[in-house]
Amino acid sequence: MCGPWWTSSAARASAWGPWWRTTGAAARLSANAFAPLFATLEAGRAAPWLTQAVRAQYRSVWQHGLQGALNYYAATPLRPPRPDAPAAQAVSLPPEAWRIEVPTLLLWGQQDHALLPALTEGLSAHIPQLQTVPLPELSHWGLHEDPARIGAEIEGFLQRLGPPQ
């Protein structure tokens, strides 16, 4: 399933990935009271949701260790390919493994610089009951940026589905 994910702009958007997979990444991300991690949350834009209280909550969790979370990035093949590593292009699954047969809501921040909006292209071929809601003003951290909007979108989606059959 190759598509927009493997474009050069998508590869640039996820250029942070290899850095997170290197030896010592947890120590580097923990430096200066987790300043590098907070920089990823801010993503070069104002983050009014990232208050001192929220920062304290993140630090209280992160202080227990980052390696477990970083192991995901080390193990996943879902990353742009390189000449020496095909990454997700080497993953081969039958078409039915890509299919989702239940109503699915996809909320996507259009200002996401890590997972570009183009990644949603072609999903409806694999998810027939897909409802995509582009969120023009939100980024990768949309749940933090506008929790009321996210909650309203989910609530509306569930109401439109009605009770389980």
Q: What is the residue extent of each domain of the chain?
A: 1-88, 93-165
Query: What pLDDT does 75 receive?
Result: 83
Query: What pLDDT does 2 receive?
Result: 41
Query: What pLDDT does 10 receive?
Result: 58
Domain 93-165 belongs to what topology? Rossmann fold (3.40.50)
Q: Is the dihedral of CA 9, 11, 16, 17 positive or negative?
A: positive
Query: Helix, strand, coil proportions of the chain in percent (round to 5)?
Result: 50, 10, 40
What are the per-10-residue average pLDDT scores of the chain (165 residues)?
Answer: 47 65 89 90 83 95 92 79 76 87 96 86 94 95 94 97 86
Provide the 10 A C-beta neighbour count for residue 119.
17
Within 8 A by CB and 6+ apart from 124, the residues are 130, 132
Q: Is the model's pTM score more than 0.95?
A: no
